Every structure is written in C-alpha cells, then in structure tokens.
Structure 1
Amino acid sequence: MSIPPIPNELTTKRPKSSKHVKKPLKLKQVLTVANIQNQKLKYVKFKDDWLDAFGKPQDRGVWFVWGGSGSGKSTFVMQLAKQFAKGYKTLYNLLEEETDDSDYINRTILCQMNDVQDTFYTAGYSFEEIMAFLDKRDPPKVIVIDSITYMMKDWNQYLQLKEKCRKNGIIVVIVGHAEGKAPRTEFEKSIMYDAKMKIFITGYLAICKGRTIGKNGGRLVVWQEGYEKLRGASE
C-alpha cells in the first residue's frame, strides 16, 4: 500500500484570508453650546385658543392623542388636522373607519374641512403602503394615523415609521385608545412615553401632557355645549 506524499509547506498554496479590513467608525460632530443654541428651528404657528393650549411646538416629531369612546377624541383629531392643514399639506390615514363612513363624512362637515380642501387629504394605507407613500416626491408635512393599532402592533414597525418621518421632517399624529386615563395597551403606552406631544381627551376636553404647554395650562374645549352639559353648567 503506497503512502501519499507529505505536502511541502513551502509549495502548498494556502487559502487567502477572508478577513476584511474594517473601516474606521465615522463619529458625529461634537457640538458646542453655541452650536446648540444657534440652530435655526421651526415651530407650528398655532393661533388663538390653540396657541393658548399648546404654545409653539416644534414642527416635527410624534404626537400621541388618546381617549375613550364618546370623549370627543375623533372630533379633536379632525380639528387638529385642520389646524395643521392651514399651514401644511396633511394626510389623514383613516383605518378605524371607512372613507365612505357617514360618521367620518359628518366630522369633515362639522369641522368645515372644506376650508382646507387644497391641503387636506384622506387615505386608508397599511403600514407597508404608508412607508412607500412617504418615499414619494413631496410627501405631506403631517400624517395622522387613526388609529395606530389598526395599522401596527409592533414596536420595530413604529420605530421604522418614526425614523422615516424624522428624516423627512414629518409630524406624525398617532391616535390611540384609553382605558381610564391611560392608553389601553402596552404598545400604545410605550408610544405615549416616546411621543413629543401627548394629548388626553376626556369629557370633550383636550389636556396637553406633552413637552410644550400653552399659557392656559394646556387645555382646549373640543365641544363647548357637551363640555358644559357634562359639568352641569348648561341651563
């Protein structure tokens, strides 16, 4: 039986190393106090009652609005969308209702959305569709998602949406449900903690719990007659 020859270490070819040279990590610029304070920021230009309640929030980031059934939440969200549409192209992403639902149609009439008909639009996009829509040229400055649990229940999807909106300078208004005074689910609660502006709706009263609060303490009456009746102030 023949013995195979022993390989010569000098002549045997060795495989090339598969290791890649790592590129040095590019760090972000360290900012001085002057860098921080001299940045040019833009703010939402609310007026009158809206300014008194919510002040001048920065024109970006996540807004979270929650409330129980019959609280005036849906009407408030439409009113908020109208305020945004006065200065920005605004998309209302309707998921909890259909676009031909009489309740939604009546809210657009009640809030006189024809006043902003050139800048206010409605759609019913899924998560995948809204992400694709925001990649299009000239996306809206504001998107309203009503409501979030009808579009996603996954934190990673929320972070993807938030990052896309951040890169495009988009304000995203997320609508959630309430159980008592708190958001109903842990997912909605996590969004509330993460949001820049937080607005709770109860008894036709919007209460701001966010980072920017107006001079009246962050309160806006959604429907005066309903608000007064609930508090026994009607005649």
Structure 2
Amino acid sequence: MARAYSINEILNKKYKLLDFRGAWFDAFGKPEARGVWFVYGNSSNGKGSFLYQLSMELSRNGRVAINEMEEGSAKTVQDTLSRHRMEDYAGKILIIDNEPMEELAKRLRRHKSPEFIIINSFQYTQLNYRQYIEFKEEFRSNKLIVFSSHADGKQPAGRAAKSVMYDADMKIWVEGYRAISKGRYIGEKGYFDVWPEKALRYWGERVPENY
C-alpha cells in the first residue's frame, strides 16, 4: 500500500532542487533533482548540442553520465566536446559508449554512481513502455534520468516514446536551436537558446549587433 500524505506534510516537505542559474533558470526555474525528463525534436535543430550543454549545467549539481547509444565514442562526439570546450568537465561528466540498458541499470545500482544520466536516445534503448516504467521506478527516487527522442513531426517517434513523454516530469521540445519547456517546470522565459544567433534568426527575432 502506498503512503498517504496529509496536505500539511506535502506543504512542509523538503525537496532537493537543481541550482539552475542565468538562462537555465529563466527557461526551467529550479526543477526537482530527480525523476524523468524527455527531450525531443527533429534532426539538425540543436537537440544534441542541448544535451551536452545540459550535462555541463547539471554537473554543477553532481556527477553526470551520458549513455551515447547513437554515436558511441565517434568523432562526432569528440567534435561536440571540443565545440563546447568540455575538457574542464573531465572529472564530472562520463561518456558511456552505447551501454545496453541492463548494463546501465547495474552501473546505476553501484555505490556513488552518477546522480544524473542522459540517454541518447530512447529509440536506441529498444524499451517498450512497461520496461521503461520498471527502469524509472527503480531509479526515480534518487536519480534524474534524461531521455532524448527522435520526433515524427511535432510528436515523439513511436508509441512507446509518446507514452514516455506524457509520463515525464519535464518535457522539452527542441526546434530551431531553441529548447522550449512544455511542462511541468517552466521559468519566466520558458526556453533556452542552444545557439542564440541561429535561434533568433530561425524564430524571426532581432539579432543584436554584437552577435
């Protein structure tokens, strides 16, 4: 039987929050540092770059692992790390080369395993929705799990991915180099520009002269 809380117990409950600052705070506020996030979008819109920028921001709050199931340790990953100058994050961010979900679960069960795990992408996990729920329920109380997903138009690609989106605590749509919060956490601005100049041009907004 699940525990039942009184209203006052919920109101007085303390939560571990992410210490987002600057543009991250403006986009997403201060979300809870556990649960499931779902980042989706079409190719060539900045989704991959957003995930790596997110990993850097998350690393201020704890250790991060990126299970790079799509690109593994390919030259494209090296290029992304170089482009974002991530050499200073060597002790905080771990790149995992296409680890199956069963092995990833074993890794996350270890003592002092990373607090944050980014999985690129949900389609490559080959999980169905039931398997996703089992994975989520094991780790959601003490981990933040971020799934990326391909899109089919404006929706996640595949029935299971669409169900995961509806279940996720944070839904982030990436389009035109802009990561837009679709709930449940939304900052005052509500979006983060992955590549500001390209985002402004895509969305038809004025580009400052110093860009």
TM-score (norm 1): 0.83
- Indicate yes or no: 2:81 matched with 1:108: yes
**CA deviation vs aligned residue, 1:35-90 (integer Å, no higher than 9, x gap):** 11111111100000000000010111100000101010000011111110122100
RMSD: 1.6
Equivalent pairs counted in the alignment come to 206
- Aligned runs of 1:27-176 on 2, under 5 Å? 27-99=1-73, 101-123=74-96, 124-167=98-141, 169-176=142-149
In 2: Cα distance, 1:81 partner to 1:29 partner? 33
**CA deviation vs aligned residue, 1:77-110 (integer Å, no higher than 9, x gap):** 11111110122100000001121x1211111111
Gaps of 5+ in 2: none
Query: Percent identity over the alignment?
Result: 35
In 2, are the aligned partners of 1:44 and 1:56 still within 8 Å (CA)? yes
Q: Which moved further from structure 2: 137-146 or 108-117?
A: 108-117
- Which structure's CA Rg is the greater one? 1
In 2: Cα distance, 1:200 partner to 1:29 partner? 34
- The runs of at least 4 consecutive aligned structure 1 residues that moved more than 6 Å come to none
C-alpha displacement at 1:33, in angstroms? 1.8
Higher relative contact order (CA 8 A, sep 6+): 2
Q: Which amino acid aligns with 2:126?
A: M
Classify the secondary structure of the residue corresponding to 2:173. strand
In 1, are the aligned partners of 2:36 and 2:140 still within 8 Å (CA)? no
Of 172, 187, 202, which residue of structure 2 is paired with 1:230?
A: 202
C-alpha displacement at 1:170, in angstroms? 0.1
Classify the secondary structure of the residue corresponding to 2:82. helix
Classify the secondary structure of the residue corresponding to 1:134. helix
Q: Which amino acid aligns with 2:202?
A: L
Of 172, 188, 193, which residue of structure 2 is paired with 1:215?
A: 188
In 1: Cα distance, 2:144 partner to 2:126 partner? 18
Gaps of 5+ in 1: 1-26
In 2: Cα distance, 1:28 partner to 1:92 partner? 32
C-alpha displacement at 1:231, in angstroms? 4.4
Q: Which moved further from structure 2: 43-52 or 157-166?
A: 157-166
In 2: Cα distance, 1:30 partner to 1:144 partner? 31
More helix by share: 2
Task: Report what 1:19 is aligned to.
Answer: none
Task: Report what 1:186 is aligned to.
Answer: 159
TM-score (norm 2): 0.92
In 1, are the aligned partners of 2:38 and 2:148 still within 8 Å (CA)? yes
